[in-house]
């Protein structure tokens, strides 16, 4: 049995990710990404930032990016949600 934190039962310890995609995401799609903050950057990229409870949820987000047909630029784990200023 693992001593690791169960993120599904302790969502305050979810990891915060930044997912960067090439191109600007149309505002009509922002609700599709739930609680993620959508930032349209001056360089023409879109930055999705927010808590992700587990690897399955991360894969689900990446599948959404794939389904949009927008090139994935990067995926970065920033920090645990309990350490983040993002609520």
Indicate whether 6 pLDDT > 60: no
pLDDT at 86: 46
Q: What is the pLDDT of residues 67-81, one digit of tens each?
A: 999 999 999 999 865
Residues facing residue 55 across a β-bridge: none
- Cα separation, 9 vs 34, in Å, equals 19
pLDDT at 7: 42
Q: What is the pLDDT of residues 12-58, one digit of tens each?
A: 678 999 999 999 998 888 888 988 999 999 999 999 999 999 999 99
**What domains are there in the chain, each with its CATH number?**
12-83 (3.30.70)
Contacts of 59 (CB under 8 A, 6+ apart): none
């Amino acid at each position: 049995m693992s001593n690791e934190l169960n993120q599904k039962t302790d969502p305050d310890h979810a990891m915060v990710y930044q997912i960067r995609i090439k191109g600007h995401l149309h505002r009509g799609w922002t609700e599709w990404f739930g609680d993620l903050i959508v930032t349209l950057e001056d360089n023409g990229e879109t930055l999705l930032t927010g808590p992700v409870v587990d690897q399955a949820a991360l894969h689900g987000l990446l599948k959404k990016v794939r389904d949009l047909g927008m090139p994935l630029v990067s995926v970065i784990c920033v920090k645990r949600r309990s350490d983040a200023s993002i609520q």
